[in-house]
Structure 1
Amino acid sequence: MRSIRIGAGAGFAGDRIEPAVELVERGELDYLCFECLAERTIALAQLARRHDPSAGYDPRLARRMRAVLGPAMARGVRIVSNMGAANPLAAMNAALDVAREMGLGGIRMAAVLGDDVLTSIAGQDHPLIDREGSLADLAPISANAYLGAFPIARALAEGAQVIFTGRVCDPALFLAPMIHAFGWAEDDWTRLARGTVVGHLLECAGQLTGGYFADPGYNDVPGLARLGFPLAEVGEDGNAVLTKVAGTGGQLTLANAREQAMYEILDPARYLQADVVADFTTLQLAQAGPDRIAVSGVTGHPRPETLKVSVGYEDGFVGEGQIGYAGPGAAARGQLALDIVAERLALLGLPLDEVRYDLIGVNSANVTGRAPDPAEVRARVAARCADRAIAAEIGAEVEALYLNGPSGGGGVTTTLREVVAVASILIGRETVTPSIVHGVS
């Protein structure tokens, strides 16, 4: 039976680059996929594009391309990535520039467009699926539909060696090479579901090989500083074996794979994707050797009639200030600092939508209890409001604690950021028309 090898080059926008290079150079890959786009990430990308129309793609794109383009093209490895984020066409052009700078002529690249549906939904109203309310309650600045794998597979069929997408379903990045290599039909629900599950297992890269799994004394994972990212050997039937490059850090065990299989799964019997509905309750995982996990048994059902859309909208500004206290009584002095700022903000009467007062190291995460007196704390105040100038006052009040607060405070940091929040709606498939733009270095 024919098979292909697909590697996971990244699991998020800020991921390490070295493991992807290692996969290209030693993984005997056919395809390398970079999954770099979360809902939060695309909101930040849309914000960047608002300020600069040539921006809006992954800021590490050039670094990744400089690292992997040469070895990938030399070995015939094709690259698929959602590093295009809010601007896939600009991402492709940036990658073409990198290729030309490196003297790599003749590389065929493509940008998959069509996920941007802001214009298409203008004037429409749709209920929000992740909270109460509807689209009419928002003032959208962006709207990106989750595309499936078939537009990417089409770009591969048209000869693209490097492909950049915007918002697509994460597993679709990995499913597309399978569709292209094996000629799977759009209604081959079983194989599409199997490929989707393989993509889901790979999409977080190092998370499958022990990253985010390690817990000393409970889940011990060797070599995390040299963590190797996973790859899949996928057969024509959609079943696969997960593994990693020999000698790299981390591990591939049933425990790792089972945990990743359940990651971000709402209903295991109905994992909704643009291409198929996968049934994880029929998934079979088996240890097939050291650092080898066999994946089989998945079944699928017809794809949904609608597509999910991430809608970005302005949600004000967040101002934040932090100050540190150390030594005996650190927590008490930190709490006094928070009390002072709280009283100051009340005196100023600022129109704040939401305020948080946290002692990092005591109660910022563990809201149900209080830790023993620590040796040091960070007093943090953060507030959200509609006005930039008012949000800036939060950091200013924390900084004023230097001479107007408890003894021993230091290391003040202040930040001010515009918030682009994300809500979700469903739209009919007929609203979305994917397209492909090609370029050559």
Structure 2
Amino acid sequence: MAKRVRLGAGSGFWGDAQDPAQELLERGNLDYLCFDYLAELTMALLQRQKLKRPDAGYVPDAVQTMINLLPRATAVGTKLISNGGGVNPRAAAQRIAEGARQAGLAGTRIALIEGDDMLDKLDDLMGQGVPLRSMDTGDENFAAIRDRVVCANVYTDSSGITAGLEGDADVVIAGRVSDNALYVGPLAHEFGWRRDTAHIDRYAAAVTLGHIVECAAGCSGGMSSRFAEMPHMGRAGFPILEVGADAEAIVTKLSGTGGRVDEWTIKEHLVYEVGDPRRYLMPDAVADFTSLKLIDEGEDRVRVSGVRGEAAPDLWKLVVGYQDGWIGETMAFFPWPYAYDRAVKARETMLERFERMGLAAEQIHFDFVGLNTLHGPAATFPGREQANELPEVGLRCAVRTRTAEEADKVRRAGTNLWIMGPGGTSFGTPMKPRPVISLWPTLIPRAAVEQKTEILKA
């Protein structure tokens, strides 16, 4: 029988449920269990932690999960792969090594992947004439934010992960590799794929498969438009990939778990975070999603085949996080009758308080919770009379300022509503000002990125 590799998705984000990963390890007969923890803002938050404590900067949940699962993973021969190293994968790897020793697993091999942190290379890139143009706004004046930058991490390919596995690693811990690289790396290692024209389609297929499962329950019933049909999502099964050397695969989940894997759930996640489906640009390859075929084989099994693609792009995405002022926020709720009128009066009162306080605001934003919080200006207003018949309406105010002191005026104005506001005003705990980290996504030559793989022993 042709070789098949089984990979499980153990996490889709920082904060995901942990019991499905344990269940995958117990019953999944897996070769690899992969954990995605990082979002773009996560890197900036982790960098702020590292600035306060040099031994911080990784995802604590990720490291503890690796330590907790390692005894069972060792017993069943499953390798663990994670990007939970965040902005400090070295500290994460050292902590995992320490945990392995404490668990009696001395000799555990941990692959440490570095090279995505470009913070110290920004000035060199600028000096070389790399434009660092914002992909969001087209702004080329990167120098205007340079002194406020707190992190700069490039999405890297799977080559570091593959190298770690070729070094016989039991655990791989990385920073900002692309999400799907967590799956591409072990497949390239297992099947010996080369980065040339002969195996481009296989890399593109692996990128596609990684994209499908990287958000865990996102392809097994989570976030579905058919949410009402999805059974027992509180114990949803996380997805499993069964992949052959030609990169044709089955997406499935454990029997007896909640959720569903069918053609619809796969399609829903296939178009998640996608611009041009014909050119899904990733550091490992460019995948053409329009070329693939999905066959629903029933019993939570969907076959994915036929993916075509192109060689990896010469430019890789760099996400820069920079300090961009402060946010002050407050919220209050108002009951029937006249719930909407009460909220409108509270907004008027807050604006008067801001004026008397001399608030220096860059932006003031109000939402009527229950009417336009999610849809904003696209929301259809039911009319004042109908809005006043709602059981309750909330008022949320968010203000952007340059300093924490100015942002704190929003909290104070919110507490002023407790007596100055309309009768029936209710409120929660006042919110402290919080710093704003804005993102500047840009492109840099992949030749400027040097990944490094090191094996640590517990």
TM more than 0.5: yes
Report the AA paired with residue 169 of structure 1: S
Match of 1:439 in 2: 456
1:56 & 1:332 partners in 2: Cα distance? Answer: 46
Aligned residue among 396, 418, 428 for 1:412: 428
Shift in Å at residue 377 of structure 1? 2.8
Aligned residue among 247, 251, 271 for 2:280: 271
2:247 & 2:100 partners in 1: Cα distance? Answer: 33
2:380 & 2:303 partners in 1: Cα distance? Answer: 43
Aligned residue among 381, 388, 400 for 2:397: 381
Runs of 4+ in 1 over 4 A off after TM superposition: none
Does residue 1:195 correspond to 2:196, yes or no? Answer: no
2:96 & 2:62 partners in 1: Cα distance? Answer: 7
Match of 2:145 in 1: 138
Structure 1 unaligned blocks of 5 or more: none
Shift in Å at residue 66 of structure 1? 4.2
Shift in Å at residue 110 of structure 1? 1.9
Match of 1:285 in 2: 294
2:392 & 2:226 partners in 1: Cα distance? Answer: 24
1:389 & 1:348 partners in 2: Cα distance? Answer: 12
2:347 & 2:90 partners in 1: Cα distance? Answer: 47
Q: Aligned residues: percent identity?
A: 37
8 Å Cα contact 1:214/1:220 also seen in 2: no
Aligned residue among 214, 222, 247 for 1:211: 222
Aligned residue pair count? 439
Report the AA paired with residue 211 of structure 2: H
Report the AA paired with residue 135 of structure 2: I
RMSD: 1.5
The CA deviation string for residues 76-135 of structure 1, in whole angstroms up to 9 with x for no partner, is 110111111111111112222332333332211122000011222215042112213122
Match of 2:65 in 1: 64
8 Å Cα contact 2:37/2:62 also seen in 1: no
8 Å Cα contact 2:3/2:245 also seen in 1: yes
SS of residue paired to 1:144: strand
2:300 & 2:26 partners in 1: Cα distance? Answer: 19
2:64 & 2:393 partners in 1: Cα distance? Answer: 36
Does residue 1:126 correspond to 2:120, yes or no? Answer: no
2:305 & 2:93 partners in 1: Cα distance? Answer: 35
Shift in Å at residue 215 of structure 1? 4.1
The CA deviation string for residues 233-258 of structure 1, in whole angstroms up to 9 with x for no partner, is 00000110000011000001111111
The 5 Å alignment of 1:391-430 reads 391-413=407-429, 414-430=431-447
The CA deviation string for residues 310-369 of structure 1, in whole angstroms up to 9 with x for no partner, is 011111111111122234222322221122112211333322111111121122123322
2:281 & 2:30 partners in 1: Cα distance? Answer: 28
Does residue 1:5 correspond to 2:16, yes or no? Answer: no
Report the AA paired with residue 255 of structure 1: W
Match of 1:305 in 2: 314
8 Å Cα contact 1:398/1:412 also seen in 2: no
Shift in Å at residue 214 of structure 1? 5.0
1:91 & 1:329 partners in 2: Cα distance? Answer: 54
Report the AA paired with residue 421 of structure 2: G
Does residue 1:222 correspond to 2:231, yes or no? Answer: yes
Residues 403-412 or 292-301, more deviating: 403-412
SS of residue paired to 2:229: coil
Report the AA paired with residue 448 of structure 2: T
Report the AA paired with residue 202 of structure 2: R
The 5 Å alignment of 1:14-413 reads 14-122=15-123, 124=126, 125-134=131-140, 135-139=142-146, 140-187=149-196, 188-213=199-224, 215=226, 219-367=228-376, 368-370=379-381, 372=387, 373-413=389-429
Structure 2 unaligned blocks of 5 or more: none
2:71 & 2:392 partners in 1: Cα distance? Answer: 48
1:297 & 1:215 partners in 2: Cα distance? Answer: 27
Shift in Å at residue 222 of structure 1? 0.6
SS of residue paired to 1:274: coil
Shift in Å at residue 57 of structure 1? 1.2
SS of residue paired to 2:75: helix
SS of residue paired to 1:177: helix
Normalised by the length of structure 2, the TM-score is 0.92
Shift in Å at residue 430 of structure 1? 1.9
Report the AA paired with residue 302 of structure 2: I
Shift in Å at residue 63 of structure 1? 3.7
SS of residue paired to 2:433: strand
1:99 & 1:360 partners in 2: Cα distance? Answer: 48
SS of residue paired to 1:289: coil
Relative to 1, partners in 2 of residues 1:69 and 1:374: Cα closer, same or farther, differing over 3 Å? farther
SS of residue paired to 1:415: coil
8 Å Cα contact 1:214/1:221 also seen in 2: no
Shift in Å at residue 48 of structure 1? 1.7
Q: Whose helix fraction is larger, Structure 1's or Structure 2's?
A: 2
Residues 389-398 or 408-417, more deviating: 408-417
8 Å Cα contact 1:228/1:250 also seen in 2: yes
8 Å Cα contact 2:66/2:80 also seen in 1: no
Report the AA paired with residue 108 of structure 1: R
8 Å Cα contact 2:284/2:312 also seen in 1: yes
The CA deviation string for residues 15-74 of structure 1, in whole angstroms up to 9 with x for no partner, is 000000011110110000001111121121122222222111113124422442222111
